[in-house]
Amino acid sequence: MIRAIYPGSFDPVTLGHLDIIRRAAGVVDELVVGVLINRSKRPLFSVEERLEMLQECTAGLANVRVLSFDGLTVEFARSQSARIIVRGLRAVTDFEVEMQIAQNNRIVDRNIETMFLTTGLQYAYLSSTIVKEMASYGADVSGFVTPGVAGRLAQKFGPKG
């Protein structure tokens, strides 16, 4: 069985994230989406809310599980008996950063590989940060997130941001 993890903050989960999740789930037997608990950041959504959003968005994918984790991604991969870390790339700048992380992960554990997936062109510009900023000003974000996530953003910011 080939098990992979797809780690991230998912604050909130975007259609770009879901593109990577669907495609990765089609390549591996099981994909564990890991919501990182990052104490150095102040996310808009709690870990519980991010888990709920991801569970709703991936409900139709039988081989996808959603969990939270704290600490090193490599340790999370080990705890899930995963041999692959999935990372999404939008642009060349993403590749530079992700390559450094992948090389460091490889030093920590030579048995864990990193698999890079380029996001669909329609999502190459998309990030959770951009979505949150747009939503904070009351912009329509329905083209960037699922209806459920858009509703949660509207609850956080109100109808006019």
What single-letter DSSP state applies at residue 29?
Answer: S
Active site residue 41: yes
Active site residue 128: yes
CB 10 within 8 A of CB 35: yes
Which residue in the list 39, 41, 42, 110 is annotated as catalytic? Answer: 41
Which residue in the list 50, 83, 87, 128 is annotated as catalytic? Answer: 128
Which residue in the list 83, 90, 132, 152 is annotated as catalytic? Answer: 90
**Phi and psi dihedrals of 10, rounded to 5?**
50, 50
CB 1 within 8 A of CB 84: no
CB 33 within 8 A of CB 67: yes
Active site residue 79: no
Which residue in the list 17, 50, 132, 152 is annotated as catalytic? Answer: 17
Catalytic residue numbers, as ranges = 17, 41, 90, 128
